[in-house]
Amino acid sequence: MDNFPLPARRLVTEMTEAAIADPARGLAFQGAPGANSHLAAVRYDPQSLPLPCFSFEDAIDAVRDGTVARAIIPIENSLHGRVADMHFLLPESGLWIVDEYFQFIHHCLMTVDADTPITSAASHPQALGQCRHYLRQHGITPVNYADTAGAAALVAETGEPGAAAIAPALAAELYGLVLRQENIEDSHDNMTRFVVLSREPVTPPLSGDRSGPTMTSFLFEVKNVPAALYKALGGFATNGINMTKLESYQRGGSFSATEFYMDIEGMPGDPAVDRALSELIFHTKWVRKLGSYRQARARTGEE
């Protein structure tokens, strides 16, 4: 908690005590009170007790060690791509993806007063990237910070003239800042996808009244042979399985083989998914399931 700016610490203390006292309702998020992840936590589950954590690793550890039951983590944004590196964070954590949540993101520019010309704006790198056109047009220098609301608390703490923060409007309210401009994101359909993590996996029903479209997330590593990825993924095409996300990454410095994060529609237990996974397993070194969960937003067809 000492890593948070002073204006945020009182709120962090209060929220932490409440979440620890009722772990089943506790929902860890990365950032100071007032961050977009804080908003996602209360909108995803209004009955939850959000737990502020300084880093993604801290939020994951809070679930892993039983401090709280769940964490909500942003993993991708419609404007700026990847947020949290889930393929690095999850495998060693032992946690599972049990749900997903989508939230429209609106950024506001805030300062300690209403009149001083703004020369710099601090925020999370994702938020800065989502507002890069606005910042460039207004000659404002972006400054990286650990999270959006933390940047707002820092501006409130330092009171530096010309220094602004980019954060949700809630942060200005919490830290006594002046909203200088609202909705400065480069696109107003700016949306972030969050995943909810838990120590235990869930198994959504395949049929019945509570059934619905499902998602499954995996990690896998291809063999270092020609056409390895083509062969590994062929079963999804032949079995009619929609792959909604495929992202490559390198672990370590050898560059000898590529690992992938993948989202598909459906889940094991569906014969078509099982056939596709059998082919994937045959043509890869290893496959690690991260979780199956209900689909929160349609991936195909008209929305």
Torsion of CA 273, 276, 281, 286, to 10 degrees: -60
Paired sense of beta strands 120-123 and 141-144, if any: parallel
Tokens, residue 201: 């996996």
The CA distance from 121 to 128, in Å, is 8
Distances (CA, A) of 299 to 40, 76, 87, 273, 290: 20, 15, 21, 17, 19
The CA distance from 55 to 75, in Å, is 14
Tokens, residue 8: 């945020």
Give the SS3 label for residue 110. strand
Rg of the chain, C-alpha, whole Å: 21
The CA distance from 167 to 271, in Å, is 45
Active site residues: 192, 194
Angle at 221 between CA 219 and CA 224, to 5 degrees: 165
Tokens, residue 162: 């010309």
Nearest one of 181, 279, 271, 292 to 235, comparing CA atoms:
279
Distances (CA, A) of 136 to 139, 141, 147, 162, 257: 5, 8, 21, 16, 39
